[in-house]
């Protein structure tokens, strides 16, 4: 384990290969405390894969991933689940929820799985900031696509993570809600001294985050 500042993201010599495909070699990523970045590049350059590597969902073929001094790729099983639950919030491009649970219950379950005490007040406050407080007792699958995306953002933020990873978070939002959503992510990241890393094709948000990590075609 390296002695790095809290909330620091650092990768070196990172590569990944899906079965039967050539390996993608990634540029080294360095994000200091409370620093944010966009991951940009044409389709097929591995942007979402890089996000999943940073989140510990995928394991690299080679290289190292350090978050807050912890080698994420070296963790396995329960230890990885606990670390990810406590320190990393992930907003997937296509949100998935437990259909038999309400929006509120999905958020409280996320807290429970991360060994945090369920906090209804926190969950409701977060949903209200995202303009979905009225949906707290609705089943997630009955909400609109845009509302589900905002619920996915709430789920990623509910445990106050050190690192927030977002894969095309604005794809289902109109211009007004797109701007509000990115502003909220940045605001929450600032409040919690978190790193925010966003994969995007959305030209509407490219000027809202200064640091860019551009992946190139082979």
- CATH number where 209 lies: 3.40.50.300
Q: 2 lies in a domain? A: no
Residues 6+ apart with CB under 8 A from 42: 215, 217
Q: 4 lies in a domain? A: no
Helix (H) or strand (E) holding 81: helix 77-87
Q: 119 lies in a domain? A: yes
Which pLDDT score is estimated for 1? 41
Which pLDDT score is estimated for 218? 65
- Tell me how far the alpha carbon of residue 59 is from its chain's centroid: 17
Q: 1 lies in a domain? A: no
**Cα separation of the two ends of the chain:** 32
Q: Is the pTM for the entire model greater than 0.75?
A: yes
Domain tally for the chain?
Answer: 1
Region 80-90: mean pLDDT is 90
How far from 112 is each of 68, 94, 115, 182, CA to CA, in Å? 23, 22, 5, 27
Condensed to tens digits (0 to 9), the pLDDT of residues 101-140 reads 999 999 999 999 887 889 999 999 999 988 899 999 999 9
The sign of the CA dihedral 192, 39, 14, 29 is negative
Kindly report the backbone phi and psi dihedral angles of residue 25, in degrees, each rounded to the nearest multiple of 5, phi listed first.
-105, 125
Q: 152 lies in a domain? A: yes
Q: 125 lies in a domain? A: yes
* 110 neighbors 155 (Cβ within 8 angstroms): yes
Which pLDDT score is estimated for 2? 42
Q: Does the structure show a pLDDT above 90 at 88? A: yes
- Residue range of the domain that includes 101: 9-214
Q: 182 lies in a domain? A: yes
Which pLDDT score is estimated for 127? 94
Q: Helix or strand or coil: residue 150?
A: helix
Q: 3 lies in a domain? A: no
């Amino acid at each position: 384990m390296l002695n790095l500042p809290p909330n620091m993201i650092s990768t070196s010599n990172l590569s990944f290969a899906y079965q039967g495909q050539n390996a993608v070699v990634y540029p080294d990523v360095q994000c200091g405390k409370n620093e944010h970045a966009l991951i940009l590049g044409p389709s097929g350059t591995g942007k979402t894969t890089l996000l999943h590597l940073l989140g510990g969902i995928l394991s690299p073929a080679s290289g190292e991933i350090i978050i807050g001094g912890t080698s994420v790729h070296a963790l396995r099983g329960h230890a990885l689940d606990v670390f990810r639950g406590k320190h990393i919030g992930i907003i997937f491009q296509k949100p998935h929820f437990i259909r038999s649970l309400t929006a509120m219950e999905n958020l409280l379950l996320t807290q429970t799985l991360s060994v945090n005490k369920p906090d209804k007040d926190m969950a409701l406050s977060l949903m209200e900031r995202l303009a979905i407080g009225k949906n707290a007792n609705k089943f997630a699958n009955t909400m609109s696509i845009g509302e589900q995306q905002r619920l996915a953002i709430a789920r990623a933020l509910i445990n106050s993570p050190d690192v927030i990873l977002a894969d095309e978070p604005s794809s289902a939002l109109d211009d007004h809600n797109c701007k509000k959503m990115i502003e909220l992510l940045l605001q929450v990241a600032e409040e919690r001294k978190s790193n925010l890393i966003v994969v995007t094709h959305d030209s509407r948000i490219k000027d809202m985050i200064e640091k860019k990590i551009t992946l190139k075609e082979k």
